[in-house]
Structure 1
C-alpha cells in the first residue's frame, strides 16, 4: 500500500488537465478517499482505465441512454498486471459534502439503480482490456425535470487479496427542463439519420461597454450587435437556447468580473427554428436595476445553444462581457 501511495505522490508532479468541450469531459480518479487529477489514465494495483468523470446534459425522463452511444464512452478497464484480474463494478451515491459534487452544482442521485451496467463484473486476461456499457434511466416523472445529479462508479479488484483497492469514477447528468414534444422526437430521428451536422452560435465573445441601468436594453438596437445561430446544414434544425453559468460549461470567469444574475438577462426566444443554410438572429436584452451594487461594475454571462434531438449534446457557447455606467 505504501508503494502505491508513493506512486500517487510522484504522479501529482506530472498532472495535466484534459478538456473535451463537446462532451464536457474531465478525468478525475479517486484512491483511498483522495481526489487526484490525472494525465490520461491511472493504474491502481494493476488496474487502469481512461474513464473518469463525465457530464451529459439534457436527458429525458423515461428513456434509457447508453454512454457509448451518447458520447462514445463505454467503461473500459485494462489489466496491466501479469495475472488474471477480476473487477467488480458498482454504483454508489457520492457524499453530499463532496467538493466535486458541490462545485458541479449537482445533487446526490436519488437512487443509484438508475444507472446500470451491461456487465457488472469483468474478468480480464493479463495485458488485456474488457468493457461494459453504462445505461442511464431516469424515472418517468416530471419532478426530475431541470435537476442535475451525480452518481459514483466503483471499480474494485476482487481477487489477488486486493479487496477494497480500486478506482472511483463520477457520472454527472442533467435532466431536460421540459418534456420533448412529438416534433422533437421526430427531429431526433432525423438527426440520427442525418449523421454529421454542425452549427455556430455567434459571436463567440461580445463586449458591451457602459450599459445603462434602470431600463430595458435591446442588444441589437442599442449596441448594433446581435446573437445569431448559423445553420450550415442542408436541413432545418431546431435549437434550444438557455442561460448558463461559466461553471456550468467548464469555463473560467474573466478576472475581475462577476456573473450577471440570470433574472437580469432577457432571452426572448428559447426554441429557435433555423432553416437550412441560414443565419438567424436571436433576440436578447438586459434590464439591470439602477442600484448602487450594479453601478460601474464588470459582469459576464453565457448563452448556450443546443441542437434539439441530437444523440450527443452538440452545444455552442456565446460569452458576453459587459461594463455598466456609474
Structure 2
C-alpha cells in the first residue's frame, strides 16, 4: 500500500513572546494545521538536570486543528537535516535529539480545537556540554485516516543554549568550542575602554584551522530568523563597542587559544544604566561557527 504523501508549508510570522529563559516566535502552519511556537530559543539550560518548559518558562507547545473533524498528530524531535530545515549559523545539530521530548508523542486534537503539550530537556551531566548552542527540528505530522492520500505536516526549529561556564576540566563538545558562552559585566563605566574579559577558542579537530573573529549585531529582517538578544537586554548600538583583540587566529589540532575582549561604550547620558549585549562570532575557514554573548550593565 502506498504511503500518504506529506504536505509541508513553511511560514514564519514575525511576532513573538519573550520569556526569561526562552524566546518564542509566532507559529508554523499548514492548511488546517498550525503550531506555536514556530521558532523557539531555550537559553541557560543546565547540564545534568531536568528542564521542564512549563515550569521554567511557562511555555507549552500548541497544536491547532483547523479542520472540521478530529485529527491525530505525531510529534518527534530530530536532527534538523533529518527534518529538512535550515538552522542559523553558529548553532550545531544537537548530538542526541532524545535529549528533548514532548510529554506525549501523539495527540488527538478536536475539530477547530487546540491541544497544549509540555516539553522537556535533559542534557547529560558532562562538563563538555556546557557553552553549547544546538538546533533541532520538530516534526509534527498528521496521522492519516483510512483512504486518505495526503497528510499535513509542519517542522518548526528549536534552539538550545546550555549553561555558560568559563573554567572547564574537559574540552567542549564539537569541532569548535568557546568558553564561556556568556560573559556578564556588572557596572561597566562608560568611555573607559576597559579590558572586559577573555574567551577561549578550542580547535577540537585533528588538523589546524584559521578562524575569523568579529563583533556582530544580528539585525532582524522580515521573513528571516536571526540570533535574538537575551531577555532584558538590547543589542549594542554599534559593533565597534565590542572589540576582540584579534580578527583572525590560527589554532593547531586539539589546541586552544584565548582572545581578549574590550568593551567601549560612549560616555553619553542616555546610555547610562542600560543593559547591552554584543556577540563575538568565531567561524572557521570551512565548517563550524560559534559565538559568545557579552552582556553589559552600564553605569557612571
TM-score range, shorter chain: 0.5 to 0.7
Q: Which consecutive residues of structure 1, in runs of 5 or more, have no partner in the other structure? A: 28-39, 181-200, 212-216, 220-243, 268-279, 281-300, 306-316, 320-326
Question: Are 2:160 and 1:173 equivalent residues in the alignment?
Answer: yes
Q: Spell out, residue by residue over 1:197-224, the C-alpha distance to the aligned partner (whole angstroms, 9 max, x if none).
A: xxxx768x96x4xx8xxxxx548xxxxx
**Whole-Å Cα distance in 1 between the matches of residues 43 and 123 of structure 2?**
13
**Whole-Å Cα distance in 1 between the matches of residues 108 and 17 of structure 2?**
30
Q: Spell out, residue by residue over 1:256-298, the C-alpha distance to the aligned partner (whole angstroms, 9 max, x if none).
A: 858522734258xxxxxxxxxxxx9xxxxxxxxxxxxxxxxxx
Mapping of residues 1-326 of structure 1, within 5 Å: 17-23=14-20, 25-27=23-25, 40-95=26-81, 101-103=87-89, 105-160=90-145, 161=148, 165-178=152-165, 208=191, 217-218=193-194, 246-247=217-218, 249-250=228-229, 254=237, 260-261=243-244, 263-265=259-261, 303-304=294-295
8 Å CA contact retained: 1:49, 1:77: yes
**Whole-Å Cα distance in 1 between the matches of residues 298 and 77 of structure 2?**
35
Shift of 1:81: 0.8
**Whole-Å Cα distance in 2 between the matches of residues 118 and 171 of structure 1?**
16
Q: Which consecutive residues of structure 2, in runs of 5 or more, have no partner in the other structure? A: 1-6, 168-185, 196-214, 219-226, 246-258, 264-272, 274-291
Could you say which structure has the higher helix fraction? Answer: 1
Rg larger in 1 or in 2?
Answer: 1
8 Å CA contact retained: 1:304, 1:318: no
8 Å CA contact retained: 2:244, 2:261: yes
Give the structure-1-normalised TM-score. Answer: 0.50
8 Å CA contact retained: 2:85, 2:137: no
Give the structure-2-normalised TM-score. Answer: 0.54
Shift of 1:56: 1.6
Partner-residue secondary structure (3-state), 1:260? strand
CA RMSD, 1 decimal: 4.2
Q: Spell out, residue by residue over 1:79-130, the C-alpha distance to the aligned partner (whole angstroms, 9 max, x if none).
A: 111111110000110129x885243x11100011111111110111112221
Could you say which structure has the higher strand fraction? Answer: 2
Partner-residue secondary structure (3-state), 1:153? strand
Partner-residue secondary structure (3-state), 2:48? coil
Paired residues in the alignment total 202
